[in-house]
Amino acid sequence: MGSFIVEGRNSLEGIVDIGGSKNAALPILASTVIVGREYILENIPEIEDVKDMFEILTTMGCSVQYDNGVAIIDTRGLNTHIVPERIVRKIRSSIILMGAVLNRTGKVEVAYPGGCEIGLRPIDLHLKGLKKLGVEINEKNGLLVGEVKDPVACEIHLDYPSVGATENIMLFAVGNTGRTIIYNSAREPEIVDLQNFLNTCGFCVNGAGTGIITIEGKELKNTDTVEYKIISDRIEAGTFLSAAASMKSKIYIRNIEKSHFKSITSIYEDAGCEIRETHGTIVITNNKRIKAVEKITTRPYPGFPTDMQAQFMASMAVADGISIIEETVFDSRFKHVPELQKMGANITTIGRVAVVEGVERLHSAEVEAKDLRGGAALVIAAMGAEGVSTINNTHHIKRGYEKFIYKLQNLGVIITETSDT
């Protein structure tokens, strides 16, 4: 599964260019199957989850060419409604193909998705929304089997602003004649990006980012080539910000919209980091040990993102004072805690709450990445620790970070990779 060898240091300095958003690219890639045509997509990150999505598309008859961040996808050859089970079980966002394939073919077979093991991530809101739009869904031999029976446009009230459910409903409803309104929809920038892409394709979606999305469903006749550029990854930017906060640093983060990760920057400003924007570049300066932030609670956007909880914990592990971190989005998302404790972190957990008492410096250890963001947190911890640390199971990290080692090396980090033999 691979390992990173990280030599601890006292400072970071340099420039990091943020890649395309993982959480925007995957639903947009899934949505290309709705209309058979050619798509030219820019700023697609070179990460394992994207490679898995490419494999799903090609297995289903589509063609994919990828080079230097640009994907050319032709979905006219889609020849099945069955989403390949082997790949689906590797990637969580594959469930978004359900709405897109139903839109195109009227039926779908898909396995329950895989991805990170960070607790229960039920898809009941996905299924409830699709059923309300006229899809009959049953479980057969461990697969979800869906068929469009009586398609209708309607109002859907989500019990929770689920990103995945919002996306799945959008991808089906755009081709479902009539007006569908999603109340309490997810508000993430990635949802806005999906709306913008769908509108570029010729659909009519409004309200993304407000909590109420209105979709005027229609059948598209136009099959001209669509060109679109994906937004950059706010969680990747936040991860490098967390690294900079963990030690003396001055780094420049380029290719990111600051407003997309305001909830992250504001927390680190409270911790004592100087963060400013100049000519489209975010500059983070930290000359001293950061202060502990009294409490943060993960929430749907625009709240503090659950995808930054582990990285934030790694930086608070060396902060001056005590921090309380409450995880409200997912259960079982503290799997990185025992690994940080191996490095000397003083962390106590009670249910979904972690109490972090900062120490002056962590020490090296051999640790294991349990999931994507927890793995990134261990790299952050190792970078500032005394000695040389080994982080195993780094395939998790590669799922969501593009050229991670290269970017860290550009900031002065001494990090190498070993492969399993």
Band (419; pLDDT cuts 50, 70, 90): confident
How does DSSP classify residue 291? B
Does the structure show a pLDDT above 70 at 121?
no
Assign 213 to helix, strand or coil.
strand
Assign 5 to helix, strand or coil.
strand
| 225 found inside a domain | no
Does the structure show a pLDDT above 90 at 102?
yes
One domain, residues 279 and 379: yes
Residue 254: the pLDDT is: 97
Band (119; pLDDT cuts 50, 70, 90): very low
| 226 found inside a domain | no
Does the structure show a pLDDT above 60 at 421?
no
Separation CA 63–CA 72 (nearest Å): 8
Arithmetic mean of pLDDT, 286-315: 97
Are the CB atoms for 194 and 167 separated by under 8 Å?
A: yes
Are the CB atoms for 414 and 379 separated by under 8 Å?
A: no
One domain, residues 69 and 182: yes
One domain, residues 143 and 268: no
Interval 250-286: pLDDT, tens: 999 999 998 999 999 999 999 999 999 988 799 999 9
Burial class (CB in 10 A: 0-12, 13-18, 19+), 14: middle
Neighbours of 120 (CB within 10 A): 7
| 224 found inside a domain | no
Q: What are the strands of the beta sheet with 38-42, ordered from one edge?
A: 63-67, 70-74, 38-42, 226-229
Residue 186: the pLDDT is: 98
Interval 359-400: pLDDT, tens: 999 999 999 999 999 999 999 999 999 999 999 999 999 999
Interval 309-338: pLDDT, tens: 999 999 999 999 999 999 999 887 999 999
Report which of 30, 162, 184 is spatially closest to residue 103, judged by C-alpha positions: 30
One domain, residues 320 and 212: no
DSSP bridge pairs for 197: none
Where residue 380 sits, what CATH number does that domain have?
A: 3.65.10.10
Residue 229: the pLDDT is: 99
One domain, residues 181 and 240: no
One domain, residues 261 and 174: no
Give the mean pLDDT of the chain.
94
DSSP alpha helices (H): ranges in 223-369?
Answer: 234-245, 262-270, 309-316, 337-342
The domain tally of the chain equals 2
| 380 found inside a domain | yes
Residue 405: the pLDDT is: 97
Question: Residues 183-200, buried b or exposed e (16+ Cβ, 10 A)?
Answer: ebbbbbbbbbbbbbbbee
One domain, residues 176 and 277: no
Are the CB atoms for 257 and 24 separated by under 8 Å?
A: no
Give residue 313's domain range: 3-19+232-418
Arithmetic mean of pLDDT, 143-158: 96
Residue 114: the pLDDT is: 58
DSSP bridge pairs for 214: 181, 206
| 276 found inside a domain | yes
One domain, residues 149 and 259: no
Pick the last residue of a domain from 188, 217, 246: 217
Distances (CA, A) of 13 to 252, 288, 318, 407, 408: 8, 14, 19, 11, 10
One domain, residues 272 and 389: yes
Helix (DSSP H) and strand (DSSP E) numbers for the chain: 14, 23
| 227 found inside a domain | no
Pick the last residue of a domain from 217, 243, 275: 217
Neighbours of 48 (CB within 10 A): 20
Does the structure show a pLDDT above 50 at 216?
yes
Separation CA 397–CA 380 (nearest Å): 12
Residue 323: the pLDDT is: 98
| 222 found inside a domain | no
Does the structure show a pLDDT above 70 at 120?
no
More confident residue, 2 or 331: 2
What are the tokens at 199? 């509108």
Active site amino acids? 116
One domain, residues 200 and 238: no
HSE (side-chain half, CA atoms, 13 Å) at 151: 23
Pick the last residue of a domain from 156, 184, 217: 217
Q: Contacts by 342-348 with C-beta closer than 8 Å and gap 24+? A: 342/366, 342/367, 343/317, 343/367, 343/381, 343/382, 343/385, 343/389, 344/385, 345/317, 345/381, 346/317, 347/313, 347/317
Are the CB atoms for 56 and 83 separated by under 8 Å?
A: yes
Interval 172-205: pLDDT, tens: 999 999 999 999 999 999 999 999 999 999 999 9
One domain, residues 138 and 283: no
pTM listed for this prediction: 0.96
Amino acid at 76: R
* 238 Rama class: left (phi>0) / alpha (psi -120 to 50) / beta: alpha
One domain, residues 344 and 357: yes
Q: Is the dihedral of CA 214, 308, 261, 407 positive or negative?
A: negative
Separation CA 310–CA 375 (nearest Å): 8
| Number of residues written out for the chain | 421
Instruction: Lowest mean pLDDT of 79-93, 174-188, 205-219, name the range.
Output: 79-93
Cα 234 from chain centre: 9
Arithmetic mean of pLDDT, 209-235: 96
Does the structure show a pLDDT above 90 at 1?
no
| 86 found inside a domain | yes
Rg over CA atoms, the chain: 21
